[in-house]
Amino acid sequence: MKGFTHDLFIETGVLLVSVKLILLAQKNVRTEENLKQHFLRIEELLMARTASESPLKENWSLARIEPNWP
């Protein structure tokens, strides 16, 4: 019986580690999607700004861009 309990604890530990890895991967996907949205928003702001300015003007100050953080 002692060997069975030991094996059961090992299998439970493996299951918990697997669940934790799955949850971390899911969190990583959500973070990646969130960052992608932020970068797309920054790109849109830069494109809108460069479209409204003359092509010879090279003022790339990002101080006026306000991030839209959640």
Task: For residue range 4-63, list pLDDT tens digits in order.
Answer: 899 999 999 999 999 999 999 999 999 999 999 999 999 999 998 888 875 555 555 555
Question: What pTM, to 2 d.p., does this model score?
Answer: 0.56
pLDDT at 1 over 90: no
Please give the C-alpha separations between residue 39 and each of 8, 35, 54, in angstroms, as whole numbers: 47, 6, 24
Q: What per-residue string of b and e applies to 37-65 under the rule 16 or more CB within 10 Å gives b?
A: eeeeeeeebeeeeeeeeeeeeeeeeeeee
DSSP 3-state of 41: helix
What integer is the mean pLDDT of 59-69? 56
DSSP 3-state of 53: coil
pLDDT at 66 over 60: no
pLDDT at 64 over 80: no
